[in-house]
Amino acid sequence: MKINASLVNHDSNILIVDDTVENLTLLARMLKDCGYIARPVPNGRLALQAARGEKPDLILLDITMPEMDGFEVCRQMKKDPILRDIPVLFISALTQTIEKVKAFEAGGVDYISKPFQFEEVKARVETHLHLHKLQLSLEDQVERQVKEIVELQMGMIFGLAKLAEARDSDTGRHLERIQILCRRFSEELRKNPRFADQIDDQFCDMIFHASPLHDIGKVAIEDCILLKPGELTAEEFEKMKLHTIIGASTLEEVQNRFPNNDFLNMGIQIARWHHEKWNGSGYPDGLIGEMIPLCARIMAIVDVYDAVRSKRVYKDPIPHEEACKIILRERGTHFDPAIIDVFVQLQDELEHIWRN
């Protein structure tokens, strides 16, 4: 293999692990002469400490050592999310095929037999550093491309939600506000042990991006109902309630093409159930308590707060203090009491977010 000099950094950090002082000294001196940073350690325990303290670019690892052999050192490194991508080259006097197989099974990328020729060691070190840097470069490129695609998709989804919202000229920055508020509620709820196994970083990111889909079904509601300046009749209200089912059904059609997509799953839950109530009196399915998905319970309180604060064709805006009183009265009836507790904690922040 021809090595690309731009990808082989001779300042690379190489950890050498061997309980034989002569081997450590020889390898360290030879690698330093080649311009590498060589870090010799005499046992597996110190090797793990050294690797975690300063991540090496490559490891030369002996097998036969006291306390912890090279196989175990390699296995522990491969279990560590920070260390598992480091290439490990076993260098050992063990020459039986079964030992070499065990080395690769433990996660090694190469095996050098002792007594070694340094030209061979040098060539294999350069090759695996080169391959590792190529892999990291490719992973970075893929990650950037995936990020660009995801951002484009999220932008298109938000744009579609904006189109649905645009029919009501009084909603202002409704979607932007609910995104921020949904994330903040999720972040605070995460601190409650009751929700520790339900809310993680991914949940907080997904609810931020999925929350604008909550009223996507309103695109199918007639203007004479959606934009009616007065109170809806019972018949009109029944038609209005259909936006939850229409929105969820539309997203389910997309989900049929992309099954097991967590983002779509959350979008469907929010669209269908953000008008459910804690006591079961909501719509469209009359779900009670924790039968309502957590993302929809969060969306419910955020949506009501923002709607109460906003001007609509059928009402004037309501000040923050009065909006808070309205929501607090619905603890345990409309809203999950635990989410109301977070609402109380965030009252001042909600006012700041809404005004900005």
How open is the CA angle 51-57-59, to the nearest 5 degrees? 65
Per-residue pLDDT of the chain (356 residues; tens, 9 = 90+): 443 444 445 578 999 999 988 888 999 999 998 889 999 999 999 999 999 999 999 999 999 998 899 999 999 999 998 999 999 999 888 878 888 899 899 999 999 888 888 888 899 899 998 888 888 877 777 667 666 656 666 666 666 666 666 655 555 578 888 999 999 999 999 999 999 889 999 999 999 989 988 988 888 888 888 888 888 899 999 999 999 999 899 888 888 877 878 888 899 999 999 999 999 999 999 999 999 999 999 999 999 998 888 877 667 888 889 999 999 999 999 999 999 999 999 988 988 887 77
pTM listed for this prediction: 0.61
Predicted confidence at residue 99, as pLDDT, reads 86
Residue the block writes with tokens 């709607």: 307
Say which DSSP state 289 is in. Answer: G
Contact 280, 288 (CB under 8 A): yes
In DSSP notation, 206-270 reads HHHHHGGGGGGGGGGS-HHHHT-SSPPPHHHHHHHHHHHHHHHHHHHHHHHHSTT-HHHHHHHHH
Q: Name the burial class of residue 255, with classes exposed (0-12), middle (13-18) and buried (19+) by CB atoms within 10 angstroms of its CB.
A: middle
Token representation of residue 173 = 């920055």
**Residue 81: which residues within 8 A CB-CB, separation 6 or more?**
none
Distance, CA of 211 to CA of 18 (rounded, Å): 55
End-to-end CA distance of the chain: 59
**Residue 226: which residues within 8 A CB-CB, separation 6 or more?**
167, 168, 218, 240
Domains in the chain, ordered, with CATH?
Answer: 13-139 (3.40.50.2300), 166-355 (1.10.3210.10)
Other Cβ atoms less than 10 A from the Cβ of 244: the count is 26
Other Cβ atoms less than 10 A from the Cβ of 143: the count is 10
Other Cβ atoms less than 10 A from the Cβ of 57: the count is 20
Helix (H) or strand (E) holding 129: helix 118-165
Distance, CA of 111 to CA of 60 (rounded, Å): 9
